[in-house]
């Protein structure tokens, strides 16, 4: 098993709600979901678009179940 380091981050309300919803639906910990999302983001930052696309596909597979509507999406719907 890979060594893990404990850390603390502050999330905005929408980030927290989405993270906890995904974790609940997948039966995984919030930490596990956060690591998966960060892995996808780090792959993009490293210009590893192929790996990032693979991770995004994995994350997106159940996207409809997690759709909670972002603030920007909600404001677009109101216009």
In a 13 Å sphere around the CA of 31, the CA atoms on its Cβ side amount to 5
The domain in which residue 45 lies consists of 14-63
23 within a domain of the structure (yes/no): yes
49 within a domain of the structure (yes/no): yes
pLDDT of residue 35: 93
54 within a domain of the structure (yes/no): yes
For the chain, percent helix, then strand, then coil, each to nearest 5? 70, 0, 30
32 within a domain of the structure (yes/no): yes
Mean pLDDT, to the nearest integer, of 60-75?
A: 54
Contact 55, 36 (CB under 8 A): yes
Q: C-alpha distances in angstroms, 37 versus 1, 41, 77? A: 19, 6, 26
pLDDT tens digits for 50-66? 777 777 777 776 655 55
Task: Count the domains in the chain.
Answer: 1
Contact 41, 59 (CB under 8 A): no
pLDDT of residue 28: 93
The pTM for the full model equals 0.61
């Amino acid at each position: 098993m890979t060594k893990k380091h404990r850390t603390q981050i502050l999330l905005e309300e929408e980030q927290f709600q989405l993270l906890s919803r995904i974790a609940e639906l997948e039966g995984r910990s919030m930490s596990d979901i956060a690591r998966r999302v960060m892995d996808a983001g780090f792959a993009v930052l490293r210009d590893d678009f192929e790996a990032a696309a693979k991770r995004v596909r994995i994350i997106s597979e159940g996207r409809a179940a997690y759709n909670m509507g972002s603030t920007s999406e909600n404001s677009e719907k109101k216009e």
